[in-house]
Amino acid sequence: MNGSICQRDDFGILEYQNVDKDQQKRIMWPVSLRYDGSTYETLTNGWREWEWFGREPLNLRFGRFISNVRLNQTYNMTFAASPPGIMEIQLQRRSENGDPNTHVVVRLHYPFPNMIQIKKLSRNIKGDL
């Protein structure tokens, strides 16, 4: 098990995933996250286990990722491969109400023109997460 405990309260977990029709086949990783003014970069890669049928990969894995992020920062998210057409990004909450002052701004970098639409999701969440 890979795990750690951090006593600081300025870090959070950013969850992001491909929710497009090709969510099990599109390879979009590694994904780079770097916040403005930082001296480091977070690089998230996918687990690689391939089965092939000719030139077609048979693995059906979801493009779901989590990254540690510093809260209240503006991040650049860059894809080393083909980015998803539809993507869901959320900041993990510790409680149902959360802290309204806690945020992360994410700038998505696509290698080709794309229309971005942002929606607020309302979910019925009970208890602590």
| 117 within a domain of the structure (yes/no) | no
* pLDDT over 50 at 129, yes or no: no
Confirm whether 63 is domain-assigned.
yes
The pLDDT tens digits of the residues spanning 27-48 come to 778 889 999 999 988 888 876 5
| Number of domains into which the chain is organized | 1
Region 90-117: mean pLDDT is 76
What single string gives the DSSP state of each residue in the chain? --------SSEEEEEEEE-STTTTT-----EEEEETT-S--EEE-------EETTEE------EEEEEEESSEEEEEEESS---SSEEEEE--SSSS--TT--EEEEEE-SS--------------S--
The reply to whether 124 falls in a domain is no
Q: Is residue 78 part of a domain?
A: yes
Q: Answer yes or no: pTM beyond 0.85.
A: no
Instruction: State the residue range of the domain holding 90.
Output: 11-109
